[in-house]
Amino acid sequence: MGGLREVAAPFVALGPSGVAVRDRLKRLSVEDERVLRLIGDLLGTLASLDLKARCAAGLVHDTGQWAERKRTLTQGSSSRWAGSITKGTHDQWALARRGQFAHVQSLEAGVRTIAHRLSLPIGEKGGKRAPGGYRSRQEWHAKARRVHVLEDRLQAARADREAGVVRVVRGGKGLLNTRHHLRAAGLTEEQWRTRWQAVRRFLQADGESGKRFGNETIRVTPDGEVSLKLPAPLAHLANAPHGRYVLAARVAFAHRGEQWRDRVTANRAIAYRIHEDTSCGRWYLTASWTVPPVKTVPLAAARTNGLVGIDTNADHLAAWRLDTHGNPVGEPLRFGFDLSGPAPHRDAQVRHALIRLLHWAKRHGLAIAIENLDLTAEKTREKHGRRKKFRNLISGMPVSRLRARLVSMAAELGITVIAVDPAYTSKWGAQHWQKPLTSTNRTTTRHDAAAVAIGRRALGHPIRRRTAPPPHDQSDRVGHRTVQARPGAPRREEPRPRIPGPRTRSMRAGCGANAADQCAQHRSGHATEHDSWQQDSLPLSLQERSTTRPMTGAPASPPISPSPTPAPTPSTAGPSPTLTRATRSWSTAGTAAGRSPAGPSPSPTPGTSEDRGRGQCHHRRPVHLQRHQRRPTSFAVNGVACPGAHQPPIAVLSSPSPGAVFTSGGTVPMTATAAAADGATISKVEFYSDTKLLGTDTTSPYALDYQDVPAGDYSLYAKAYECRRGWTWRRRPGCSA
């Protein structure tokens, strides 16, 4: 694409793979809370020991070691609790490995960027694709020290990854570091300890299909009763048969409650997790289950009724409806949200904006097109340097959370989501769509134009849709882009399509062959026709002309020779002189007083032999003029030839011979001879393969080596140019490589 990266094809986003709903455990007794804390602390200790054993095993781990760890945990809890602990341990270890790999990639990118900027002179400006040098010597020195720090970290991270070593903190590294900054966090040591113990508890159990209500460890009945299977060391705390403890609280999931109840009634697997929110002193129960993969709607079907393009921004969603042809319909829409404040507030703002968007799309029966954004690589300090405001902007955009929520909520409403490549959508949207969509009563923003670009890409239409009008020397003036360009046109710029028939009153139909030729405005070395140019035949003799167009009293004369020879003195009496030019033409007849389309008609009058040798005649007689675009090759005055016009140079391609065969990838030697008529000088000889210029030679003998020729058939020829005017003579031998 000429320096632009390849744009991935749009695709229909897959629906959610799972569902999670939460409800509060209300009216828990003091005994219930005490039992929950005891169970969570015991299982949390076992989970910490199991995670330590898994990290120590590193890359050397198999199913046998997994079974051994599970047997060890079963002795202190139960088989089902042990299975949930080992599964959670493996998930946490795999997450740590993925985070470690991302950390290595981030360090590599930082080292690469700093090393590049250090190699540039101080103060050198950067471009669009690469940053420039550092602004000052002080900054350069600081970055030179930092690159060594990053290289040491990168070396240590690579060594850990190769050895399978991961570092995981149960409860979170952030909360652990807060212990050393309690005053800044506004916490006391007791508050921090309470929060630390709460996040390290383990109270989650995986479900089992076919078991009663889908989970034997944490069981929730359809009417909301919650009971737990106590671990072996805490079996004496049971208040129900079979070592179970029943909580006093009941749950009723307000969101997706019917789906949850259907699964519980059918004894389908449901996973449960109980956790405490220490900031407000509440306990919550989260139920989750997997959703079977559903066949997505075909992309062609999703495009049937058009769609709405969505541009994600830091404070709003810009949307615009498009029809099936990619044309904007109606007015742009804006769904705002506020991302200031704590995380729950930000999440609620995003959810409310998506609800409004989805309800609007549902009313109109439209699919949604959104960018498949990933700003992970954009959040590094080394890439954007001092642009702190921009880094904060992209860091605050909830791209992944918004995309996940949109896909999940759209699946519930039966709305198809199409993901597109985000490359150049904002840039091309502003360049090609912002101005055309702006009117006196509507101001189109860059974000609105980007939404149109996203929608067009989802529909399979090009974003850069228009081509420039012709330049000023044609009938109309340069204005706004007006013509639809085909997808294959490079840079979406192409000649305007040729409309049959005359374009102006002075041009006949079929005379616009050069309308789409961009080099037609520069006539130097430009052929009259698009096909290969060949010299026309010599003009007819007076006898042949008298046969075609009889002239009164025209004596017979031999054919006119193209060579410049002195012309005999014409008589002052006889038929009207004839001027002939050797290319396609139209003709008019007139008198000395009339004017031809090219100017006054030549009026022959007596002159000297030198003037007549030059083709200069001064007789005032009726004239028959044939007008052409080239200089005349001969004259005939009163039936007597008056050669004197200039002849074109002749170029002959002497090598390779016609039909020659060469080895693929080798060199084809090309030689040519050129001769100029009338004592002119050859200025250069050009060698061509079809329409491709291979090279030029200005000294005789004229030669060129055509190197690295791929396999195929070629038509080679040469052009000769003289000092005053470029006439060409070609020879096309067939050459097979």
pLDDT beyond 90 at 727: no
Two tokens, residue 86: 């080992």
DSSP 8-class letter at 234: G
Average pLDDT over residues 388-402: 73
From residue 417, give the alpha-carbon distance in Å to each of 220, 290, 314, 360, 631: 34, 20, 21, 14, 68
Confidence of residue 17 (pLDDT cuts 50, 70, 90): confident
Contact 406, 354 (CB under 8 A): yes
Average pLDDT over residues 229-257: 92
Within 200-325, where are the H helices? 257-265, 299-302
Confidence of residue 177 (pLDDT cuts 50, 70, 90): very high
Single out the residue of 609, 624, 603, 685 nearest to residue 651, CA to CA: 685
pLDDT averaged over every residue in the chain: 77
CA angle 603, 609, 610 (to 5 degrees): 90
CA 527 to chain CA centroid, nearest Å = 38
Considering only residues 41 and 521, tell me which one the structure prediction assigns the higher pLDDT.
41
Dihedral over Cα of 61, 64, 65, 69: its sign? positive
pLDDT beyond 80 at 382: no
pLDDT for 488 equals 56
Q: Which residues of 177-186 are buried (b: 16+ CB within 10 A; e: fewer)?
A: ebeeeeeeee
Two tokens, residue 117: 């900027």
Contact 726, 649 (CB under 8 A): no
Average pLDDT over residues 183-212: 94
DSSP 8-class letter at 570: P
Place of tokens 């060409």: 728
Considering only residues 661 and 101, tell me which one the structure prediction assigns the higher pLDDT.
101
pLDDT beyond 60 at 55: yes
- The pTM assigned to this predicted structure is 0.60
pLDDT for 182 equals 94
Place of tokens 């008589």: 571
Single out the residue of 345, 336, 339, 335 nearest to residue 396, CA to CA: 339
pLDDT for 381 equals 58
Q: Which helix (H) or strand (E) holds 30?
A: helix 30-57
pLDDT for 340 equals 83
pLDDT beyond 50 at 728: no
Identify any residues that bridge with 20 across adjacent strands, giving them in sequence order.
288
pLDDT for 70 equals 93
Half-sphere exposure at residue 406, Cβ-oriented, CA atoms within 13 angstroms: 27
Annotated domain spans of the chain: 26-213+227-248, 302-459, 542-641, 650-736
pLDDT in tens, 297-319: 899 999 999 999 999 888 899 99
Contact 133, 123 (CB under 8 A): yes
pLDDT for 295 equals 75
pLDDT-wise least confident of 81-90, 199-208, 336-345, 520-529: 520-529
Contact 730, 651 (CB under 8 A): yes
Q: How far apart are CA 164 and CA 666, in angstroms?
A: 53
* Side-by-side strand order, sheet with 282-290: 18-24, 282-290, 271-277, 204-205
353 — phi, psi (to 5°)?
A: -65, -40
CATH number for the region 302-459 comes to: 3.30.420.140
pLDDT beyond 50 at 634: no
pLDDT for 610 equals 41
pLDDT beyond 60 at 566: no
pLDDT for 693 equals 86
Identify any residues that bridge with 736 across adjacent strands, giving them in sequence order.
661, 713
Q: How many angstroms separate the first and last alpha carbons of the chain?
A: 29
Average pLDDT over residues 411-436: 90
Confidence of residue 615 (pLDDT cuts 50, 70, 90): very low
pLDDT beyond 50 at 201: yes
Average pLDDT over residues 502-520: 50
Contact 205, 217 (CB under 8 A): yes
pLDDT exceeding 90 applies to what percent of the chain? 43
Single out the residue of 491, 30, 549, 518 nearest to residue 247, CA to CA: 30
Confidence of residue 333 (pLDDT cuts 50, 70, 90): very high
Confidence of residue 629 (pLDDT cuts 50, 70, 90): very low
pLDDT in tens, 129-164: 778 899 899 999 999 999 999 999 999 999 999 999
Confidence of residue 681 (pLDDT cuts 50, 70, 90): confident
pLDDT for 704 equals 86
pLDDT beyond 90 at 196: yes
Q: How far apart are CA 26 and CA 515, in angstroms?
A: 81
Dihedral over Cα of 50, 52, 55, 56: its sign? negative
Q: Which of 228-237, 560-569, 618-627 has the highest mean pLDDT?
A: 228-237
Confidence of residue 191 (pLDDT cuts 50, 70, 90): very high
Diameter over CA atoms, the chain: 142
Q: How far apart are CA 311 and CA 322, in angstroms?
A: 14
pLDDT beyond 70 at 705: yes
Contact 603, 563 (CB under 8 A): no
Place of tokens 């007549």: 612
Q: Regarding the domain delimited by 650-736, which CATH topology (the fold level of the hierarchy) does it fall under? A: Immunoglobulin-like (2.60.40)
pLDDT-wise least confident of 85-89, 90-94, 317-321, 600-604: 600-604
**DSSP-based three-state secondary structure for 737:** coil
Two tokens, residue 575: 């038929």
